[in-house]
Amino acid sequence: MKVIPAIDVVSRKVARLYMGDIGKATVYQLRPIEALRKWEQEGAEIVHIVDLDAAHGRGSNMEVILQLIAEANVEVQVAGGIRSLDKALMLLEAGASRVVIGTVFIEKPELAKEFIRQLGSDKVIVALDHFKGKVAIRGWREITDRPLIGEVRRAKEMGFNWVLISSIERDGTLSGINEESIEEIVKLGDIKLLVAGGVSSLDDVVKAKRAGAYGLIIGKALYEGLINLREAIRVGLREV
C-alpha cells in the first residue's frame, strides 16, 4: 500500500482543515516547496496536493501548484477546484501524474465521461468526499443525498480506475479511519482505492492496508509529528 503525504495549500501556505471547515484552518510554518522536499526526502513516491482556496471558490494557488509540479521528483496528484477539461489538461501537461475531480462527477456526469475519454482512466481520480455515508460536493460545503457506495459503483461502471474517499467527519480530527467502509468498497473490485480522513497513528496504516486500500493519504498526523513518514511507508509495504 502506498502512503501518500498531503500538501494542502491555503493562501500560498501549507494548512490543514478541521472537518473540512476552511474557517478552522491550521496554518503551518513550512512553505509548500519545503513540505514537498521534506516528504520526498522521507521516501514518498506520490504527493497529494490540494488547492483548498480553489476547492472553496475563494481564489487560486495555481502559481504555487505549478511550482510544486515543476520541482517534484515524485508523482504528483492535484485536487481542488478542477471543474474543466482545460484546467485538467493544463495540470497534466505541466507534469502532474493525475488530477482529481469531485463536483464534476456528481453534477456533470457527461463531462466526467469526457475526462476519461480525453485524458484516460489512469489520469483521473474521482474524489468522493462523504459525511455520514452521503457524498459532499463544492469543497465539502454541500452534502447530497447520494450514498457513498452507490457513487463508487457508478464511478466503476463509468470506467474510472481511481477513487478517493475522504471522511469529512474524521478529517483533521485524528480520530482514526473507518476500516469497515474501506472493506465494503474494496469488495466491489477493480478499483485503486485511496483513503483519507482521520489518520492518527501507524495503527491506521495497518488497518487501511489490511482492509485493501491501494493508498492512504495522511495530512495532519504528519505535520503534527504523530506519524513518521518513513515508518508509515515501511508499514504500508509490510505483509499484514
pLDDT band at 27 (very low <50, low <70, confident <90, very high): confident
Measured in degrees and rounded to the nearest 5, phi and psi for residue 147 equal: -70, 140
pLDDT tens track for 153-194: 999 999 999 999 988 766 667 778 988 889 999 999 999 999
Cα–Cα distance for residue pair 152/148, rounded to 1 Å: 6
Domain 2-237 part of CATH 1.10.10.10: no
* Cα–Cα distance, 143 to 127 (Å, whole number): 14
pLDDT tens readout for residues 109-158: 999 999 999 999 999 999 998 888 888 877 557 788 899 999 999 999 99
| pLDDT at res. 139 | 55
Spacing of C-alpha 155 from chain mean position: 16
The ranges assigned to domains in the chain are 2-237
Distance from C-alpha of 106 to C-alpha of 182, rounded to nearest angstrom: 20
Determine whether 8 is an active site residue: yes
pLDDT of residue 180: 86
Q: Which of 8, 53, 171, 204 is catalytic?
A: 8
Per-residue pLDDT, 20: 59
Instruction: Say what the pTM is.
Output: 0.93
Q: Which residue has the higher pLDDT, 198 or 212?
A: 212
Q: Respond yes or no: is residue 53 known to be catalytic.
A: no
Q: Which of 53, 129, 171, 204 is catalytic?
A: 129
Please give the distance of CA 169 from its chain centroid, rounded to a whole number: 15
